[in-house]
Structure 1
């Protein structure tokens, strides 16, 4: 097993896609996702970064959680995206919740360009989604639902 190379704004070219973004929002190819809008996890907080991943399962969590937290029906949407600038490891999970970055989660100040919607992604089972929602609710109750942005 090779040693993990951290992803920083100055050193990110070693990460290859495809890059994915999960959300509740309906988007079209060519749309740009930009910072400054509400978080998928906290509608009252505008974020300074756009978050994305290289793993379908991580994008599925983002899509499903965003949709469920907004009280919407369905699983949400997963999009193939292109980062339009440098990016770094997402510090919300990298070495905080998990050693390294097993969720392959990243963030950027720059836009993500939507390439196309991914239609054949696999949602997580309803019981797993509920467990994740319950865990987020517990963190909120304890004031621990912090997003390092």
Structure 2
């Protein structure tokens, strides 16, 4: 078995949408306007705006994803991380975050930022192990968001 983290390609678009819709729906969350934008147009809403999308592949098949969205302060927002159930336990979340951090550092970003929901306990534990710290509430387009975190670079 080979596992690799690769940059987003246009043929990943359907998988990008379906993986993220799956975790949102499974979590009982509504697909909000920002979700629709980044899932429906990853090229225009993330990549063309200076962001990145990374795909985890197992034996060449996509099994996970994560994005970095450029922020006005020069930092990057980590978003839309998903790993399919049968690929969990392979350390893909860490590897995706590692790819995000490397890209952000290479771009000279001062920080990584993320928003999530307190029900995402496994993800929050991963973020804390990776060095993210809690922030006070921030403005957000997401009704589901009640946890804000950052990692200074």
For normalisation by structure 1, the TM-score amounts to: 0.24
Q: Point out the structure with the larger strand share.
A: 2
Q: Which has the higher helix share?
A: 2
Q: Which structure is richer in relative contact order (CA contacts within 8 A, separation 6 or more)?
A: 1
- What's the TM-score once normalised by structure 2's chain length? 0.24
